[in-house]
């Protein structure tokens, strides 16, 4: 059964990666959410996608060069620990580590260890090979997914065996691939037989989201995940 994860919270209806968006996801009984983490200048792990606040707040504030107080004076960027505090039991949380700053990983691990929730709810992802490989040292028991455009990476859409080999070379336990109509049920089933978790991102239309659910991906991220889940279930 595919999990429909609210991408940066229910971000079609609330500002992305804010407590408002994550609370809305829980209020709507989403299957869970996906979020992004970065390090501030004062070593706080915050939930924000971009390296700066230009897109979300029309501000030149750079996350890595600014303190938490300076950032929150411009935009309601939450701390990771505050987002985890509102995660409902039984819901899934996929945490993407942004960029190549490996120093964030031990700080993230400390927050993870101090969190009183069910650790099995958490999966970890990154677009950066070095980052996801380093994360394996700190989170050996958690699902670890490389975010990637498989067709772009391989030059054409790869086989399940090629994909699994690539993931294992990075000590990943799964893949989060850009949604692609070239992926089929055999591809997903074979990856699962090889012990891989299969997730997709880039679900920019309901059509491709429904197609990915039909082939049995474990999870997908979408800006209106609850509505897409309802549409899929009512087909």
Q: What is the pLDDT of residue 185?
A: 98
Q: What is the pLDDT of residue 81?
A: 98
Please answer whether residues 22 and 86 qualify as being in contact, where contact means their C-beta atoms are separated by less than 8 angstroms. Answer: yes
Cα(154)–Cα(96) distance, rounded to whole angstroms?
22
Q: What is the pLDDT along the chain (235 residues), one digit of tens a residue?
A: 999 999 999 999 999 999 999 999 999 999 999 999 999 999 999 999 999 999 999 999 999 999 999 999 999 999 999 999 999 999 999 999 998 889 999 999 999 999 999 999 999 999 999 999 999 999 999 999 999 999 999 999 999 999 999 999 999 999 999 999 999 999 999 999 999 999 999 999 999 999 999 999 999 999 999 999 999 999 9
Q: Residue 226: left if φ>0, alpha if ψ -120 to 50, beta else—which one? A: alpha
Tokens 């960027």 sit on residue: 77
Kindly list the domain boundaries of the chain, sorted by start residue.
3-39+92-233
Beta bridge mates, 148: 177
CA-nearest of 190, 192, 183 to 154 is 183
Q: Which CATH number is 3-39+92-233 given?
A: 3.20.20.190
Q: What is the pLDDT of residue 76?
A: 98
Please answer whether residues 24 and 9 qualify as being in contact, where contact means their C-beta atoms are separated by less than 8 angstroms. Answer: yes
Q: Tell me whether residue 188 is exposed, middle or buried, using C-beta atoms within 10 angstroms of its C-beta: 0 to 12, 13 to 18, 19 or more.
A: buried
Q: What is the pLDDT of residue 125?
A: 98
Angle among Cα 66, 71, 76 to the nearest 5 degrees reads 160
Q: Is 154 helix (H, G, I), strand (E, B) or coil?
A: helix
């Amino acid at each position: 059964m595919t999990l429909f994860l609210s991408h940066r919270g229910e971000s079609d209806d609330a500002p992305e990666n804010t407590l408002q968006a994550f609370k809305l996801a829980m209020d709507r009984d989403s299957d869970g959410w996906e979020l992004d983490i970065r390090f501030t200048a004062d070593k706080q792990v915050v939930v924000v996608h971009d390296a700066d606040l230009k897109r979300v707040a029309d501000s030149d504030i750079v996350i890595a060069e600014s303190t938490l107080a300076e950032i929150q004076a411009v935009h309601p960027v939450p701390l990771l620990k505050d987002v985890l505090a509102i995660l409902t039991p039984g819901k899934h949380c996929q945490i993407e580590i942004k960029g190549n700053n490996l120093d964030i990983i031990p700080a993230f691990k400390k927050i993870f260890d101090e969190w009183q929730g069910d650790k099995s709810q958490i999966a970890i992802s990154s677009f950066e090979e070095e980052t996801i490989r380093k994360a394996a040292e700190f989170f050996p028991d958690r699902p670890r997914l490389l975010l990637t455009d498989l067709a772009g990476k391989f030059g054409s859409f790869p086989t399940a065996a090629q994909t699994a080999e690539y993931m294992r070379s990075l000590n990943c336990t799964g893949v989060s691939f850009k949604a692609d109509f070239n992926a089929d049920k055999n591809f997903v089933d074979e990856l699962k037989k090889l012990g891989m978790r299969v997730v997709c991102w880039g679900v920019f239309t309901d059509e491709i989201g429904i197609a990915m659910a039909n082939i049995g991906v474990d999870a997908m991220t979408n800006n209106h995940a609850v509505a897409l889940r309802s549409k899929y279930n009512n087909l």
